A = this chain, B = another copy of it.
Amino acid sequence: MTDLERAALPIAGANRGPTINRDAYAPAYLQLADALQAQISDGSLRPGDKLPSEAQLRRHYQLSQVTVRRAVNTLLQRGLVTTAQGRGTFVKSPDISDAVFQLRELKEYIVQGERTRVNLLEVRVLPADERVARKLCIEPGEWAIYLRRLLMDRDTPISYHREYLVYDPSQPIVEGELEVTALEGLFRGNGKAALQSGALTIECVTLREDEAQLLHVAPGSGAFLLEHVFRDSMDRPASWGWFLWRGDRIKFSATLGARRRVRPQAGGDEHE
């Protein structure tokens, strides 16, 4: 039995026991946070209920004020409670608008794995038209690099990427590198490109004939359209482009609220 599980046990008689194990690997504030979360999960504390005040928790668990606060803050960040100054801390009802979808799944396709290949379809240096110039904050007619790439999972096309880059004469283009580097720059942001910030939008579109053909799906299929603008350290747009992800290969997931069996989370306190 781990410390965490012990801490989560409802104590008969008294509603809670002194449960913090100072020898455990998990810090005290996490043990308390997880103990409280366990009470939320198992229904001892239900949505709308008021948590014990911080002073009560402090006394009960023999912790300092600050440590109790950290525990409460942890639950706050997990979206499980809300706090109201002068009133108390309350269990939050799961709210669909708290759902958060991350793009980790995408990264797995990008960070050059064994399966993934990048297929460079086109590289061109061209003068920016009105639209591109506006997005990249350059003058119409200035040079820009236009890329078209296909991301492949083995032999299956996954995503079709088009991108405009501000042309930097000091960094000559190496076609071979473009297949990989610039892409990794977006997803790893390391070194060279030194991207400073970015903005993304994601929406759902129907593929045009040519797009569908590239992605080996039926024309009219649904796809995620992920548009991105990345900015350099001077806060100037450096890249504007968009991915079309095959809808049948990408799926994002999220969870809300507190499920029953809380995973160890801080992990690795099974020893002893």
- Residues in B with CB closer than 8 Å to A250 are 203-204
- Residues in B with CB closer than 8 Å to A254 are 199-202
Interface residues of A (CB under 8 A from B): 41, 43, 46-48, 66, 77, 93-104, 106-107, 110, 186-191, 194-207, 220-224, 228, 230-231, 233-235, 245, 247, 250-260
Contact (Cβ within 8 A) B247 A206: yes
**A253→B224 CA distance, assembly (Å):** 13
Contact (Cβ within 8 A) B203 A251: yes
Query: Can you offer 29 A-B residue contacts whose CB atoms are under 8 A?
Result: A41-B196, A93-B188, A93-B190, A93-B195, A94-B195, A95-B107, A95-B187, A96-B103, A96-B106, A96-B107, A96-B186, A97-B102, A97-B106, A97-B187, A98-B102, A99-B103, A99-B198, A101-B200, A101-B252, A197-B258, A199-B254, A201-B251, A201-B254, A202-B253, A204-B222, A205-B247, A206-B206, A220-B220, A222-B222
Contact (Cβ within 8 A) A197 B103: no
Instruction: Report the copy number of this chain in the oligomer.
Output: 2
Which applies to chain A's interface (DSSP): helix, strand, loop or mixed?
A: mixed
**A230→B259 CA distance, assembly (Å):** 10
**A198→B96 CA distance, assembly (Å):** 8
Take A97-B102, A220-B220, A222-B206 as given contacts and tell me if A197 and B247 are in contact as well, using a CB distance cutoff of 8 Å: no
Closest to A199 in B: B255
| A94-B230, A200-B256, A205-B247 given; 16 more Cβ-contact pairs under 8 Å | A43-B234, A47-B189, A47-B195, A96-B200, A96-B228, A97-B187, A98-B102, A99-B198, A100-B102, A101-B103, A200-B254, A201-B254, A203-B251, A204-B222, A204-B223, A235-B260
**A46→B193 CA distance, assembly (Å):** 12
**A211→B102 CA distance, assembly (Å):** 28
Whole-angstrom distance between the Cβ of A117 and the nearest chain B Cβ: 19
Whole-angstrom distance between the Cβ of A211 and the nearest chain B Cβ: 12
Contact (Cβ within 8 A) B197 A257: yes
Whole-angstrom distance between the Cβ of A191 and the nearest chain B Cβ: 8
Take A197-B259, A204-B222, A223-B204 as given contacts and tell me if A101 and B104 are in contact as well, using a CB distance cutoff of 8 Å: no
**A104→B100 CA distance, assembly (Å):** 9
Contact (Cβ within 8 A) B96 A251: no
Max count, chain B CB within 10 A of own CB: residue among A46, A103, A104, A251 = A103
Contact (Cβ within 8 A) A198 B97: no
Closest to A256 in B: B198
